[in-house]
Structure 1
Amino acid sequence: MIGLALLTFVFVACASGNQTVSQTPEKITIAYQPGINYANLLIVKQLQILEKQFPKTQFEWKELSNGAAIRDGIIANQIQVGASGPGAFLVGWDKGVGWKILTSLNYSEFWLITKNPNIKSIKDFKPGMKIGLPSLDGVQAIVLRKVAQKDLGNPTALDQNLQVIAHPLGLQSLLTGQIDAHFTTPPFEFQEVERGGRVIIKSSDIFGKTSIASLFTTEKFYNQYPEFGKALYTAIVDATKLINQKPDEAAKILSHMDNGKISQDQYKKWLTNKAVAYGIEPRSFLKCGAFMHEIGMLNKQPKSIDELILPPLKGVKGD
């Protein structure tokens, strides 16, 4: 059972929130992707923080395989809030989706991993070799193109090698030799290294501290339901503090969410791994945007983080 003290620590704002319930739509769908990059959002889900603050709203939580699918759902108005990386977000921003960043979630490193002994660097990839990643405009693809530009003289040199595959399936495909490399995130990268995988690229070496996962919603939706947007932002801030200050308790919640299939100890090891970090400040959106514009993935590029953020992030350091 999750203790009362824990609920109090994480979401002291709920008491006041329950007394000032704002108008919200009848249903809100929140979409995210596999992995612990979304741990703070998953804590909000598991503790039903939003459901308690907005009891008249039906909340649907969806796990989708990549940011492109989430972006399509936002465009179709089937998803109101989506969690994804900067690549898919910036493509949508460029094409007029009208969404902005409500908060960052996670800055974990993501790694390109291989088990093929003949692959030492991206220079060793031959035609027909497969590199698995979640989408062609996701942040993994952006990092890979940046490295290809530097090491191969052409940012799209490896595009024919790319195979779109969800992280969990990519893990199994790498371990069984169906793909030659996998560009993935925690905890899948940790599991691959434990099973003999070798790291070829670390994202932190390319763009530095990067918001691998952030929460997005359209400016129209936020302006229509600002109290909900602020409540969600506050819930993420509190869940992030919990992970950073009390990882044992955060791990307990996540293990409880999985009905104990993944132990509390295992979650704590993942959450406290030096490659994993959680925070609300958007990071590396401008760097990614500049590079994507340079290679033709964007028609325009953001010049300031203020172009990309919603009101709760105003005054919060970001790039």
Structure 2
Amino acid sequence: MFKRIGSLAAALGLAGSALLAPAAAQAEGQIRIAEQFGIVYLLLNVVRDQHLIEKHGQADGLDIKVDWTQLSGGSAVNDALLSGSVDIAGAGVGPLLTIWDRTHGRQNVKGVASLGNFPYLLVSNNPNVKTIADFTEKDRIAVPAVSVSVQSRFLQYAAAQQWGDKDYNRLDKYTVAVPHPDASAALISGGTELNAHFSNPPFQEQEIASPNVHTVLDTYDLLGPNSPTVLFATEKFRNDNPKTYHAFIEALAEAADFIQHNKPAAAETYIRVTHAKVSQADLLKILDNPKYEFSIDPKGTYKLAEFMYRVGAIKNKPASWQDYFFQDARPLKGS
């Protein structure tokens, strides 16, 4: 089964590479958005389902054409953004910091908004793995993208706390890139060399509901409440498309308000848009978790930024979170 998962991941990688062909610059009134998997993208699911970008564009006298694509892993998303294949990238704060650093003084990619605050869980079906110190060469940990995904960065942060900064990447050799849905299915069914998964909701909740799966690490214990997944764009897109960009920000804010006040409807939206195999009742239990907050304001991202600079993962040191997030007419309130 694990070979089949590897083949699927490779196939998705090839599909993602097809998006990397140079694309013509987009004119005002067009926006292309790349998202990934999980409830952390619920803001975008609501925006898409209710046509909120189009709604706010029309309020400003602009008809906006919106294109959506789904990728797996921060590397594929970053490549798509830099190639001009997408305008808005949805990925972890780790990939944001990587692309912000690499484009500093050039394309100047920065964060647009958070997608909310959620604990991410590292889980395993290996009863011998109680903490990250118990992983051995016999274990394989699924992440969306090796080394650069936010899950990989969280694992590195935890390793640095366990063994010191010099060994921050000690567990990277045990990680493999597998999309969340496939990693979750493999972990629950068992019988493959993949026996751990640094996941996100709802996959992590489905996994720990299995009697053979347990939590190894909770990122809220590691970093406190934080925004693991964010949206980002190039400075050029933001400057060249002010009405489109503004409509997108307003759409996100409206979606966040909708989710906070209409969780049953938000759960139904997620299931309908993503075709997820989860019941509305189970999804509502997840959305009602007080640790989950759907907000466009980034929280708790700077600790990871400081860490990545300290270990040399990024070369430019941000003075604060505001260095890697745009500030707009609706200013973000972050940390």
1:159 aligned to 2:172? yes
CA contact (8 A) 2:123 2:196 kept: yes
Q: What runs of 5+ residues in structure 1 fail to find an aligned partner?
A: 1-22
Equivalence for 1:183? 198
Select the residue among 184, 199, 203 that pairs with 1:171.
184
**Per-residue deviation at 1:313?**
6.8
Equivalence for 1:301? 317
**Per-residue deviation at 1:27?**
4.2
Q: Structure 1 residues 121, 258: closer, same or farther in 2, change over 3 A?
A: closer
List aligned pairs for 1:25-174, cutoff 5 A: 25=28, 27-52=30-55, 53=57, 56-96=63-103, 97-135=107-145, 136-153=147-164, 154-174=167-187
Select the residue among 260, 263, 269 that pairs with 1:244.
260
1:195 aligned to 2:210? yes
TM-score normalised by the chain length of structure 2 = 0.83
Q: Partners in 1 of 2:330 and 2:321 — Cα distance?
A: 10
Q: What are the superposed Cα offsets for residues 235-284 of structure 1, whole Å, 9 maximum, x if unpaired?
A: 11111111112212222333333568544333322221234221111123
Structure 1 counterpart SS, 2:78: helix
List aligned pairs for 1:278-289, cutoff 5 A: 278-289=294-305
Equivalence for 1:3? none
TM-score normalised by the chain length of structure 1 = 0.87
Q: Structure 1 residues 150, 27: closer, same or farther in 2, change over 3 A?
A: same
Aligned-pair identity (%): 30
Q: Partners in 2 of 1:27 and 1:151 — Cα distance?
A: 47
Give the letter for the 1:35 counterpart.
Answer: G
Structure 2 counterpart SS, 1:255: helix
Q: Structure 1 residues 287, 106: closer, same or farther in 2, change over 3 A?
A: same
Q: Partners in 1 of 2:168 and 2:41 — Cα distance?
A: 29
List aligned pairs for 1:197-216, cutoff 5 A: 197-216=213-232
Q: Partners in 1 of 2:299 and 2:75 — Cα distance?
A: 20
Aligned length in residues = 297
Q: Partners in 1 of 2:320 and 2:234 — Cα distance?
A: 18
CA RMSD of aligned residues (A): 2.0
Q: What are the superposed Cα offsets for residues 79-123 of structure 1, whole Å, 9 maximum, x if unpaired?
A: 101111110010001101521121111211100001111111111
**Per-residue deviation at 1:177?**
3.7
CA contact (8 A) 1:233 1:312 kept: no
Q: Structure 1 residues 313, 127: closer, same or farther in 2, change over 3 A?
A: farther
Equivalence for 1:4? none
Q: Partners in 2 of 1:122 and 1:255 — Cα distance?
A: 33
